[in-house]
Structure 1
Amino acid sequence: MSVIEINFDGIIGPSHNYAGLSLGNLASARNAGAVSHPRAAALQGIEKMRGNIRLGLRQGIFLPQWRPDSAWLARLGVDVGNADPHIRAAAMSASSMWAANAATVSPASDTADGRTHLTIANLVTMPHRSHEWPQTLAQLRVAFSDARAFAVHDPIPAPFGDEGAANHMRLSQSHDQAGVEVFVYGRSGSAFPARQHVEASKAIARIHGLDPARTLFVQQSEEAIAAGAFHNDVVAVANEHILFAHEQAFADKDRFYADLRAALPAVEIVEVPASAVSLSDAIASYLFNAQLVTLPDGAGMALILPTEAQQVPAVWRWLEGMIAGNGPIRRLVPVDVRQSMANGGGPACLRLRVVADPADIDPRFLVDEARLDGIARIVAGYWPERIAPDDLGDTRLIAQIEQSWLTLVDHLQLSGDLSI
């Protein structure tokens, strides 16, 4: 088979809840304490994947993580029964569903040794996410175990924060050609903590063996972070030779655009002006937290975006005008991921892009509609219907969450490879 882009979506886990743990994520804070619906959330995510397959795209999955994370609690000297409520909520977090934060990926065409490199994100700036990486690493080492094709790296050490592909973009003439990799970082002292540190980004570029002439390090604007763009993928997204971004996404956009054009002369920049769509409207609608994908058979590109974008008049008006023109983005595909959106994660948050040959990947992590049907049946039969904040310490709920995970892992024939 040939090298293609594969989107790996995180299956939304049975402990999905709204604890408001993510500082700087406005949706997470706004919905803190609300009742969540894990079953509906996971089924929404599965429908998004199903829609991608129907567009002709290749689809992969990552599994939810075992919750509660008893090993992490034990290192804090507590268990789920006697932990403070915010610690218990952190141990129960289902935030690994946002696979864009799983790792940073450099395709084989960009790296010195001709292998695809993946560095697991350490997520150290957020306590509820800082304990995800060991289980993420275990999954990626199974999915990408062929050492001839892949190199899977441990996280960058603390204190240098790394949040994975949510702060990384790759542009190229086509997916299988050498590209330009763009690492976007924040500066300390902004309104909210900088989650992506430039030191981590530079370390990943070195570890992946990237060509310095085709590697850019770009500062995210403080205005964007202060407005709630806690990751770059809330204000910008790239696909092949297209960069789709808000006018206020970057601290020095003129220099960035000039450097990008020098490294990739074929680049086309589609910029949404602040006069048409404000930062607040862009972030409220998650206009840029979309999957920008290349459709098969030369049909151009599609923007897979949350249905919330239709509900913000300025956003939808601008998008309809763009589609009416002769630009590279030819199709809008709204999807319902409201349960994820309520915690601050849109379509792009839910997936990690990997450019590789599917034949080199463990087939248990690749799905078609029939496999999604089987996963959906388990979700419908085992995932909790609702979780209120006071439920997180309920032993019956915890037992249901644990059984849900065991049933799914067994169904996917991964129980022998993924330890708790």
Structure 2
Amino acid sequence: MIREINFDGIVGPSHNYAGLSLGNLAATKHAGETSYPRAAALQGLDKMRANMALGLAQGFFVPLRRPNSDWLAALGADATIDPRLTAAAWSASSMWTANAATVSPAADTADKRCHLTPANLVTMPHRGMEWPEMKAQLEVAFADPAHFTVHDPVPPSFGDEGAANHGRLCEGHDAPGVELFVYGRPGGKFPARQHEQASRAVARLHRLDPERTIFIEQNPEAIEAGAFHNDVVSVANERVLFTHAQAFADQQGAYDAIRAKFPALQVVEVPADAVSLAETIKTYLFNAQLLSLPGEGGGGEMALVIPLESWESAPVRAWLEGMLASNGPIRRVIPVDVRQSMANGGGPACLRLRVAADPATVDPRFLLDDAKADRMTAVIAAHWPEEIETTDLGQESLAKSVTGARAALLDALDLSALL
């Protein structure tokens, strides 16, 4: 049975606040602060457990090898050359699996297989090194060629940041959908990370029907305000597009283009005079998981999993309470604590990659259950560093600790082949 599976990234043991991501206001604001990798990983795991408790299918990806000494060596560098290069080699940013790949379910593709294209992430050096290992995980998790195709990334001339700039509208996760690709124009204060040609290439590689594919320009004002990915200002689920009024360069034109191909569209728009772009980006209201709840308990209702920072914002909470009172399509709001991720610029939606597929076709080692979550918790509690200062990056003792922690997790999950 086709279901939506959310694959969350396990926060790696090298999680730190080096402030490497230009245009990500939270990451730069907290640069140099003490990070808490153990707390970060446990917060992410708690979110996964909570989604499982709602009856949702939950998967995960494991952290990548850090520090990435091979990358430093390819630059003729080591930990003594440049603190920024050292920090990049230690980055735990692969935890944000919304940037791992773009996914088109089998119902949308010409060959009726689910297609996944790893994001090249070339705009930021600390992220551009991720795709080879990420592709390797995708090839293991989605190895069945009867059901999945894993592509190479789009060539690096065109920046691709994955599902963070992609959405899908459909009558149900198992039904054919209309796929939305949101891109930015270069030349602004901050880099537009998703290139139009990258989005178009992914759509062609996935063999999507052009009549059910839409390309939309992100609002340059949103990028300038700190919406470095479109999922900071907009998220789609089944018939619903939950969006800020300033998400797109031509807001009404975007709605018209979508309705022309998906007449069932329901727009839930947050006006700028209710929640400003600045407050939106500060609280990550739209970097939420918009989920269809299964079974009798859900009754087909949608829930919005938001960061605590949104619930604690007076204007955001007022708008959300008004939305719930209006009896619209989003019937529940669930705040979660992912503060360690938020301080680095990633909310609940950043932490997950959505894949509509039959769980029976996925390698079971990447699917979460209570017993596996308990094993993960024990490993994280025993091996993840409690805290890291950015001045610790490059130290041999910490490198051994981080490497050993990852190895312990892979061993516990029977994934040591990924070492």
Does the alignment reach a TM-score above 0.5? Answer: yes
Whether 2:368 is the aligned partner of 1:370: answer: no
TM-score by length of 2: 0.99
The aligned residue for residue 290 of structure 1 is 288
Tell me how far 1:12 sits from its aligned partner: 0.1
The aligned residue for residue 404 of structure 2 is 403
The aligned residue for residue 40 of structure 2 is 41
Whether 2:282 is the aligned partner of 1:281: answer: no
Whether 2:130 is the aligned partner of 1:119: answer: no
The aligned residue for residue 333 of structure 1 is 334
Whether 2:196 is the aligned partner of 1:195: answer: no
Verify the 8 A CA contact 2:14 2:66 in the aligned structure 1: yes
Whether 2:66 is the aligned partner of 1:67: answer: yes
The aligned residue for residue 130 of structure 1 is 128
1:255-266 paired onto structure 2 within 5 Å: 255-266=253-264
1:189 and 1:213 map into 2 onto residues whose CA distance is 30
Tell me how far 1:233 sits from its aligned partner: 0.2
Verify the 8 A CA contact 2:372 2:413 in the aligned structure 1: no
Tell me how far 1:393 sits from its aligned partner: 1.7
Give percent identity, aligned residues only: 63
Tell me how far 1:79 sits from its aligned partner: 2.5
1:147 and 1:241 map into 2 onto residues whose CA distance is 30
Tell me how far 1:299 sits from its aligned partner: 4.2
- AA of the residue aligned to 1:343: N
* Cα displacement string for residues 118-143 of structure 1 (whole angstroms, at most 9, x for unaligned residues): 00000000011000001100100000
* Cα displacement string for residues 343-378 of structure 1 (whole angstroms, at most 9, x for unaligned residues): 000000000000000000000000112211110100
SS in 2 for 1:305: strand
The aligned residue for residue 213 of structure 2 is 215
Whether 2:202 is the aligned partner of 1:204: answer: yes
Whether 2:100 is the aligned partner of 1:102: answer: yes
1:111 and 1:299 map into 2 onto residues whose CA distance is 26
1:276 and 1:79 map into 2 onto residues whose CA distance is 49
Q: Work out the number of aligned pairs and report it.
A: 416
Tell me how far 1:83 sits from its aligned partner: 3.0
Unpaired runs of at least 5, structure 1: none
2:189 and 2:122 map into 1 onto residues whose CA distance is 18
Verify the 8 A CA contact 1:191 1:222 in the aligned structure 2: no
The aligned residue for residue 228 of structure 1 is 226
2:390 and 2:95 map into 1 onto residues whose CA distance is 19
SS in 1 for 2:227: coil
* Cα displacement string for residues 32-70 of structure 1 (whole angstroms, at most 9, x for unaligned residues): 000000000000000000000001100000000110111
Whether 2:153 is the aligned partner of 1:152: answer: no
TM-score by length of 1: 0.98
Q: Moved runs in structure 1, 4+ residues, more than 2 A?
A: none
1:384-403 paired onto structure 2 within 5 Å: 384-403=385-404
SS in 1 for 2:221: helix
1:84-103 paired onto structure 2 within 5 Å: 84-103=82-101
1:97 and 1:282 map into 2 onto residues whose CA distance is 22
1:351 and 1:169 map into 2 onto residues whose CA distance is 13
1:299 and 1:171 map into 2 onto residues whose CA distance is 16
SS in 1 for 2:258: helix
The aligned residue for residue 168 of structure 2 is 170
Tell me how far 1:251 sits from its aligned partner: 0.2
- AA of the residue aligned to 2:415: L
* Cα displacement string for residues 164-211 of structure 1 (whole angstroms, at most 9, x for unaligned residues): 000000000111110000000000012201100000000000000000
Verify the 8 A CA contact 1:163 1:195 in the aligned structure 2: yes
1:257 and 1:311 map into 2 onto residues whose CA distance is 30
The aligned residue for residue 182 of structure 2 is 184
- AA of the residue aligned to 1:57: L
SS in 1 for 2:31: coil
The aligned residue for residue 253 of structure 1 is 251
* Cα displacement string for residues 295-319 of structure 1 (whole angstroms, at most 9, x for unaligned residues): 0122400000000012211000000
2:69 and 2:81 map into 1 onto residues whose CA distance is 11
- AA of the residue aligned to 2:16: N
Unpaired runs of at least 5, structure 2: none
Tell me how far 1:3 sits from its aligned partner: 0.3
